Amino acid sequence: MYRALAISSGGDGRPSGRGRGTKERIREARSPRAPGATPIRPAARRHEVTPMYLPILLAIWSTLPAPVCDTPIAWKIDQIDERFGMTLEEAQTAVTEAAGLWETAAGRPLFEHDPEDGFPITFVWDSRHQMMQDRITRESQLAERSTAIQDRRNALDEAREALRLERALYDQRLEALEGRQAEHRRAIEYWESRGGPPPAEARELDRVRDELERERMRLQEKAEGINTLVARVNEDTEALNEAISEYNAAQARLRGGVDDGMLTGFYRESSRALGSWVLSMSREIEIYQFDDPDHLIRAIAHELGHALGLGYTSNPSAIMYEHARSARAGQRGLGGAQLHPADVELVRSRCPLPSP
């Protein structure tokens, strides 16, 4: 900035900046001061803007970025890789919903859609999204295996219950048969102690004997069937335990294969400054991968939070969680993704609620 020349007078009443030569002023400065003389003070410096530069400075001032909370940040969808299977309208809706989370908390508009001059939001398909899609496929397969295991467990429980009932019924019939056999033996012993049964009693004893033998044969078949069922239940139990072990191992491999550093998105900005003045600000958001529409809204909201100048929070339930780019941060309410109180505190510390 240019400064105008300021004029001040010396102790002798003569102008210190005009009317005398440079050599004369130097000699006076070096010479001893006379007693009682008023010391010469340096010229006062005043910051003044030369009128000819005022239009230039006003032009620069008009292009300076406005405070982020006072003027909405303009955005646009730049590019969407077709492999995402997402339309432009769907992407715009996701950004609008994500921006709405912050705007509701701040009580003011913070973003606006500007298809021409907004900062670009790009959906970039690369290995990260492919890895996530593979992971989702494996998770779906594991979910199917888990359902199948649960079905097998339920069927096995039903088989065990049926086996328990069969064994209980068998035990009851066996106990009844053993009681009747004992009674039949006592009848035979009774009549043998009297020289033998009469013809009618002998026929009755033979009939009961044949009936008891048939029941014994039926129970023998029943026992064989129960033993077969026991063997099948044991085999199914062993197979189920093996399936559960394989499922647990596959689940552990899936968890171990997740890259905690895999980014869902990234925000970058650059600025051009003149001294302490920021002349221009360039922003950009790239979205790399997401599991579902709800996850997409959370990922975009996280990057929009950075565009507002928000920092991180250590709360894992917050949108601005410090590891949100590699985890499903944020909360899901009845209406979808929502801010955590820690997020609300962040945005309101940056953009306080407007006065009523």
Tens digits of residue pLDDT in 295-346: 899 999 999 999 999 999 988 889 998 876 544 544 444 456 889 999 999 9
* CA–CA separation, 110 and 339 (whole Å): 15
Question: Which tokens in the block code for residue 316?
Answer: 């894992």
Chain segment 51-99, per-residue pLDDT in tens: 554 455 444 444 444 467 889 999 999 999 998 899 999 999 999 999 9
Strand 336-338, strand 331-333: pairing = antiparallel
State how far the alpha carbon of 38 is from the alpha carbons of 10, 17, 35, in Å. 8, 17, 9
206-242: pLDDT as tens digits: 999 999 999 999 999 999 999 998 999 999 999 999 9
Using one digit for the tens of pLDDT, what is the confidence trace for 234-281?
Answer: 999 999 999 898 888 888 777 655 444 456 888 998 877 666 666 678
Alpha helices in the chain (DSSP H): 22-30, 54-62, 88-106, 127-192, 199-256, 293-307, 341-350
What CA–CA distance (Å, rounded) separates 65 from 67? 7
Check residue 209 and give its pLDDT: 94
For residue 155, give every residue at least 6 positions away whose Cβ sits within 8 Å of its Cβ, in sequence order, or none.
236
pLDDT of amino acid 277: 64
DSSP state for residue 325 in the 8-state scheme: G
* Rounded CA separation 141/36 (Å): 101
Cα–Cα distances in Å, from 293 out to 86, 142, 224, 327?
Answer: 10, 22, 57, 15
CATH architecture of the domain with range 73-125+261-350: 3-Layer(aba) Sandwich (3.40)
pLDDT in tens, 109-150: 999 999 999 999 999 987 766 777 777 788 888 889 899 999
> How far is 319 from 297, CA to CA, in rounded Å?
10
DSSP 171-209: HHHHHHHHHHHHHHHHHHHHHHTTTS--HHHHHHHHHHH
The Cα 231–Cα 250 span in angstroms is 29
Look at residues 305, 20, 262 and name the one whose alpha carbon lies nearest to residue 134.
Answer: 262
Whole-angstrom distance, CA of residue 147 vs CA of residue 327 = 25
- CA distances to 3, 63, 73 from 60, in Å: 19, 5, 20
